[in-house]
Each structure stands twice: as C-alpha cells, then as structure tokens.
C-alpha cells in the first residue's frame, strides 16, 4: 500500500454533511473519514506530472528525440527547475520514472540514466550518476537502465534506482539529499501584491545517455516523471 | 486582509487520534488538518509538464505554442521553463518571449550566454486575476539574428507563499486552531475555517500531457487511415478518487482545422489500451480552434503497488477525409475535477 490515507480513496461528502451550523456536534466519522482521510488522500493524489513527452513520429524535420554519440555519460535532456512536493518527513515525493529509448543502429549498445538533482547543487549530477552506477554512492535519486539496448525501434526500458531501496520505477530525494535544494523564491503575496518569499525545494530531472559505439547515437524517445507520495 | 503563511512540508494528520467519545485535539488533528489543507490549496499545479518540442525558429520568425488547461483558482503567477539553443553557436542569436502569446510582457534573452546552452531558464507570467476556468495558455518565441532550436518547454503555477483569509483563498486563521482555543462559528476561523477550506480546495493533478507545435508546422494527414503522432504511446495515469476505482475521467481537446472546406471532415482520435478508450473528434472548421473539451476514462493510480502504475497507454491519431487535409497543432489532456 502506497498512500498516506486510512482508506486510500476519497470518501464522498457534501458541505452540509461537514459543518452546517453553529452548536451542532462534529461527528467522529465526518472528522476521521471526510476530513482526515480525504485531506491525506488529496495530498497524495495531487502530486503533479513534471515531465511527459514522446518523440514525434511525424512533424518538423528537427530531430524529435534527444541524442548523443558520446561513449561517456552525456546529459541529453534537462527539465527546468520545479518545486518538488515535499513529504512530512522532509524527503521529497517519489518520482515515477518512465524512460523510452533506442539505438541509432544495432551495432551500438546504449544506456540511459536519470538523476533527480538541481543545477548548481553541491554535487554534479553526472558525477552522482557515475558514482551511483559504480555503487560507490548508493542513492535512490538515481535511476539506471538494467541492461544496454541495441534495439533500433523505440521501446520502454527497464531499470532500477541505485540506492538501498532499489526501486524499479521510482526515484526520490532523502531528507539529507533535499536539504541543499531548499530555497526561498520571491513571489507576490497576491494578485498585484507586495513581494514575499515562498519556501521551496527546487529540483530538476537530468537524463543522461551513452553509446558504446561512437558512430551511432543513443536516442531518448520518451520521458515521463510524475510525483507520487509512495509508501508510508 | 490577513495572509496565512503556508509550509514547505505537507502534514499527515493521523486518523488514530480521532475516536468515538474522545476529544479531537487541536494540536494533533485540527492544526495538522489546517496546515495540510493550506499546503494543498497553495501548492501550484503543473499546467504543462516538461515536453520535448524540438523545432527550429528562423531569424525574424515568431512561433507560438498553445495548451488547453483548467488552472487552479488560487494561482497568481505562472513559471514557464524553456530550453533554447542557438542553432549555430558562431551566429549571435537572441529570442523574445511573451506569455500569453502576443499580449504578454516581452523579455529578450541573449542565447550567447554560455550558461543558457544546456540550462533552461524561466519566464514569469503574472496573472491579472485568479481563474479556474478552462482556457488556453500560450507562449510565443521570436528568434532574432539567427536560427533558434526550441528543445523543451514547461509551465507550472508558482506556489503561494500565503493564502488570504477570504472566500477565494480560504486561508485558515491558524492561531484559532490551537489547544484551548474556543470553537467559534466565524468564517476562515476555527473549525468552520478548516471545514470551509477543505470544501473549497483544489487538489488536482492538472496537466497530464501536451503535444504542441506552431500552426505553421502542424501535424497533417489527408488519408482516411489513422496516423499515430508519436513513436511510443503515452503512459497515461490520473488520480484515483473512489473506492475500487481503476479508471478516472480526464478531459482532452485539440487545436485543429481542415486545410480546405467541404467534405465530411477530418478526425483526431484518442486510443488507450488498458482502459480501452477510443474517442474520436471530428474537425470541420477551416480556422484553427480548440474543439469543445471531451471526457474519457483512463487508468487511475493503483495504491496497491509501490509505484502506483497501471501501465495504461494512450495514442494520439489523426486522419483526413481522403481528399482534404486535417491540421493539428496541439493536443492537451488535463484533469478537470477531483471534487
């Protein structure tokens, strides 16, 4: 079970069943199921899709996939920073990761990796990926394909996060990993209002690829990342 | 007007503290609820998840990307993220960006700056009013001096730093939800404030996916045979609401037209696997426009597994009428309601 609510679904309610007049008792079921259960469930399901693209099969001539001919890990795609949702324990919401790729030619074997980090963070994302794949820094903020692909037809790829949890399709920042990314971003208090600061944990998703044959590229055709509360 | 700050971390109020015959405590439950509801209400939604655009803009040309969404009604600022690149590094290239397209504040960015080569940057769109009405959001990019590669775009609503204690934001006066404070029947205050804020918050995962191009290079199809627009289907998944549910409604729309009038019209079709949807919209007009949004039921989150996947897959397909060509510039899918 991977939600934080008691029931892991929403209990139907109407305003009048919640609170309809002064001096009326507040029922324990209304409080427990409607308020407590639903608030937790809504907080669970509100996790946002942060990236979702599939390479175009048709359209403008500009290559619709991200590609590298590098035989070392090369950053092929980076999302803009986004304020990742934060759990109550200071870790980030998990990110559900889906990666699709292909090799330009069957003579190449290609690998893909994903790092949840931030540009300018104390640790370079590429270094984090290299060390996590090598096993010297176990971290579940890094995801890596299980095996190299030589398939030239775009396909979804299997992998694992490289930390102690070793998820199949999740990555996340622990509380300690998230701490360097905490910041206060300037924003108005309200429409046309005075300036204020909102605390955020700004993160980015870095996708890396490499090929074992520099003549033929590794192509990232699909990437999807969705926030997910995860296991309690 | 009082502004109630919202926190960085969500809360997790415990149901084990709410039992028949026992008092429901302010410290363990009501304050946790108040902070949790405000965390949800003030957290901005992602309207446009990061998408690979991969098109070019020649010098002197402006291209526009359009997306269909229903924003959250408490947002006041949108943050557009863009990855742009000069096509030829030796050519001095800059871009002018506006959101909304045509009417937004123009910002010019010099792409010679080395930090922009792989590092996306942000364009800020301040809103004139809060709105949760289904609408088009748009951004245009004009290339100056040389050709620009547009590699990616995203847009999210900036988190609110604080909520108003009014009937729009429903911020809760948290100093009234503390141990030994009296329960009073005043708006945005005490238990009534918690209930009202709960009933009026918006917990939607808004933007699910978008596929967008400028109308000048829209997807086209004349044949009546359906053509898939992407190499891989999208892994579609939306929030779970009800007990036992395996699917949930989402809305979709497309920005399309027919190149010439007459005939039976072209088609834009959504096809899914696990949820077995085939939903076809007919395009007849010769002016680009969004079709009336359509509802389909696709797979929702699966809380019985660690990652919640159901692996529903969605394809976007288009077809002409055999003689006339359908042109599709944008397709958008979003969650309209979790009420």
Q: Do A170 and B307 lie within an 8 Å CB cutoff?
A: yes
CB-nearest to A80 from B122, B206, B219 is B122
With bands split at pLDDT 50, 70 and 90, how would you rate the model's confidence at B184? confident
**Residue B181 confidence (pLDDT):** 87
Residues of A in contact with B159 (CB under 8 A): 83, 185, 187, 198, 200
B146-161 tens-digit pLDDT = 999 998 999 999 999 9
- Asked if pLDDT for residue B288 goes beyond 70, the answer is yes
Q: Which pLDDT value is given to residue A21?
A: 62
ipTM, two decimals, is 0.96
Beta-carbon neighbour count of residue A131 at 10 Å?
16
Q: Answer whether residue B4 shows pLDDT above 90.
A: no
Which residue reads 């048709």 in tokens? A58
Other CB atoms within 10 A of residue A35 CB = 29
* Residue A111: predicted pLDDT: 98
Better pLDDT: A191 or A62: A191
CA-nearest residue to A59 within chain B is: B219
Share of chain B above pLDDT 90, in %: 79
Contact residues, chain A, for B304 at CB < 8 Å: 1-2
Residue A166: which pLDDT band, with cuts at 50, 70 and 90?
Answer: very high
Q: What is the pTM of this model?
A: 0.96
Q: Cα(B322)–Cα(B185) distance, rounded to whole angstroms?
A: 66
> What kind and span of H or E run contains B98?
strand B94-98
Q: Which residue has the higher pLDDT, A144 or A21?
A: A144
Optimal mutation site among A5, A49, A83, interface B, most CBs of chain B within 10 A: A49
How confident is the prediction for chain A on average, in pLDDT?
A: 92
Indicate whether A148 pLDDT > 80: yes
pLDDT at residue B27, rounded to an integer: 84
Q: Can you tell me the distance from the alpha carbon of A116 to that of A147, in angstroms, rounded to the nearest whole number?
A: 20
Q: How many CB atoms lie within 10 A of CB B114?
A: 9
Q: Which of these, A210, A208, A219, A212, lies nearest to A108 by C-alpha position? A: A212
In chain B, residues with a C-beta closer than 8 Å to the C-beta of A39 are 13, 33, 36-37, 40, 198
Mean per-residue pLDDT, A72-87:
94
- Lowest mean pLDDT across A185-189, B5-9, B68-72, B257-261: B5-9
Give contacts of A170 with chain B, Cβ < 8 Å. 306-307
A47-56, A61-70, B56-65: segment of lowest average pLDDT: A61-70
Q: How far is CA B147 from CA A58, B62, B93, in A?
A: 21, 11, 7
What residue of A is the nearest CA neighbor of B244?
A9
Output the pLDDT for position A17: 57
Which pLDDT band holds residue A12 (cuts at 50, 70, 90)?
confident
Q: If you measure CA to CA, which chain A residue comes closest to B130?
A: A191
Mean pLDDT on B286-293: 98
pLDDT reported for residue B1: 64
Q: Where is A129: in which H helix or E strand?
A: helix A125-134
The pLDDT of residue B273 is: 97
Residue with tokens 């208090």: A189
Q: Is 80 exceeded by the pLDDT of residue A63?
A: no
**Across B253-264, average pLDDT:** 96
Measured between CA atoms, how close is B119 to chain A, in angstroms?
7
- Average pLDDT score over residue span B325-331: 98
B215 with B65: CB under 8 angstroms?
no
Residue closest to B133 by CA, chosen among B197, B69, B188, B196 = B69
Separation in Å, CA of A65 to nearest CA in chain B: 8
Which of A65, A80, A98 shows the shortest C-beta gap to B50? A80
Facing B307 at nearest CB: one of A58, A96, A193 = A96
Give dist(CA B54, CA A134) in Å, integer: 33
Q: Given a cut of 70, is residue B339 above it in pLDDT?
A: no
- pLDDT band with cut points at 50, 70 and 90 for residue A34: confident
Mean pLDDT of chain B: 93
B89 band by pLDDT with thresholds 50, 70 and 90: confident
Question: In this predicted model, which residue has the larger pLDDT, B142 or B186?
Answer: B142
Q: What CA–CA distance (Å, rounded) separates A198 from B43? A: 10
Q: Do B306 and A167 touch (CB under 8 A)?
A: yes
Q: Which residues of A touch B317 (CB under 8 A)?
A: none
| pLDDT at residue B193 greater than cutoff 80 | yes
Mean pLDDT, residues B112-125: 75
**Of residues B181 and B101, more confidently modeled:** B101
The yes-or-no verdict on residue A20 having pLDDT over 60 is no
Contact at CB, A55 and B195, closer than 8 angstroms:
no
Q: Which residue of B has its CA nearest to A224?
A: B235
Model confidence band, residue B90 (pLDDT cutoffs 50, 70, 90) = confident
Q: Average pLDDT of B159-179?
A: 94
Q: Verify whether the Cβ–Cβ distance A79 to B198 is below 8 Å.
A: no
3-state secondary structure of B114: helix
For chain B, say whether A188 makes contact (Cβ under 8 Å): yes
User: How close does chain B come to A107, measured CA to CA in Å?
Assistant: 21
Is residue A75 less than 8 Å (CB to CB) from chain B?
Answer: yes
Query: What is the model's pLDDT at position A158?
Result: 98
Q: Quick one: pLDDT band at residue A22, thresholds 50, 70, 90?
A: low
How far is residue B210's CA from residue B232's CA, in Å, rounded to a whole number? 14
Minimal Cα–Cα distance from A122 to chain B, Å? 16
Give contacts of B192 with chain A, Cβ < 8 Å. Answer: 19
All structural domains of chain B, each given as residue ranges with its CATH number in brackets, are 3-43+160-199 (no CATH), 46-157 (2.60.120.260), 208-334 (2.60.120)
């Amino acid at each position: 079970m991977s939600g934080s609510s008691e029931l892991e679904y929403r209990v139907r309610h109407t305003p009048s069943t919640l609170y309809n007049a002064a001096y009326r008792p507040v029922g324990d079921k209304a409080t427990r199921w409607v308020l407590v259960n639903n608030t937790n469930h809504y907080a669970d399901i509100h996790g946002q899709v942060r990236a979702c693209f599939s390479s175009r099969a048709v359209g403008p001539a500009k290559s619709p996939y991200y590609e590298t001919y590098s035989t070392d890990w090369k950053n092929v795609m980076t999302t803009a920073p986004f304020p990742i949702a934060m759990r109550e324990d200071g870790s980030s919401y998990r990110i559900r990761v889906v990666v699709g790729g292909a090799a330009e030619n069957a003579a190449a074997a290609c690998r893909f990796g994903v790092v949840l980090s931030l540009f300018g963070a104390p640790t370079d994302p590429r270094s984090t990926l290299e060390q996590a794949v090598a096993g010297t820094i176990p971290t579940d903020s890094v995801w890596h394909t299980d095996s190299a692909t030589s398939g030239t037809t775009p396909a979804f790829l299997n992998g694992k996060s490289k930390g102690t949890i070793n998820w199949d399709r999740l990555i996340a920042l622990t509380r300690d990993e998230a701490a360097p990314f905490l910041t206060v971003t300037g924003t108005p208090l309200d429409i046309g209002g005075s300036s204020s600061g909102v605390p955020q944990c700004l993160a980015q998703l870095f996708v890396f690829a490499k090929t074992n044959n520099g003549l033929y590229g590794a192509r990232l055709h699909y990437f999807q990342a969705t926030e997910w509360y995860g296991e309690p | 007007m009082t502004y109630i700050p919202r926190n960085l971390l969500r809360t997790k109020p415990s149901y084990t503290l709410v039992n028949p015959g026992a008092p429901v405590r302010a410290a363990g439950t009501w304050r946790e609820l108040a902070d949790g509801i405000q965390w949800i209400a003030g957290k901005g939604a992602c309207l446009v998840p990061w998408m690979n655009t991969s098109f070019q803009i020649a010098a002197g040309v402006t291209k526009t990307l359009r997306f269909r969404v229903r924003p959250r009604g408490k947002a006041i600022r949108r943050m557009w993220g863009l990855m742009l690149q000069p096509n030829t590094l030796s050519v001095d290239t800059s871009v002018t960006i506006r959101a909304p397209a045509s009417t937004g504040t123009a910002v010019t960015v010099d792409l010679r700056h080395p930090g922009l080569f792989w590092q996306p940057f942000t364009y800020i769109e301040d809103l004139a009013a809060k709105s949760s009405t289904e609408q088009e959001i748009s951004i245009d990019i004009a290339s100056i001096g040389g050709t620009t590669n547009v590699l990616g775009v995203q847009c999210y609503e900036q988190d609110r730093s604080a909520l108003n204690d009014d009937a729009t934001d429903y911020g809760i006066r948290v100093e009234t939800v503390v141990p030994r404070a009296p329960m009073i029947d005043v708006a945005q205050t005490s238990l009534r404030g918690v209930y009202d804020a709960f009933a009026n918050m918006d917990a939607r995962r808004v933007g699910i996916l978008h596929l967008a191009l400028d109308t000048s290079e829209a997807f086209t199809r004349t044949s009546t045979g359906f053509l898939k627009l992407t190499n891989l289907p999208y892994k579609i998944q939306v929030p779970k609401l009800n007990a036992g549910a395996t699917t949930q409604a989402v809305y979709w729309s497309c920005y399309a037209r027919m190149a010439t009038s007459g005939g039976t019209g072209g088609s834009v079709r959504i096809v899914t696997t696990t949820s077995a949807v085939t939903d076809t919209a007919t395009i007849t007009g010769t002016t680009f426009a969004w079709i009336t949004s359509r509802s389909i039921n696709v797979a929702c989150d699966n809380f019985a597994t660690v990652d919640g996947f159901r692996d529903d897959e969605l394809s976007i397909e288009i077809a002409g009428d055999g003689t006339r060509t359908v042109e599709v510039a944008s397709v958008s899918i979003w969650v309209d309601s979790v009420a």
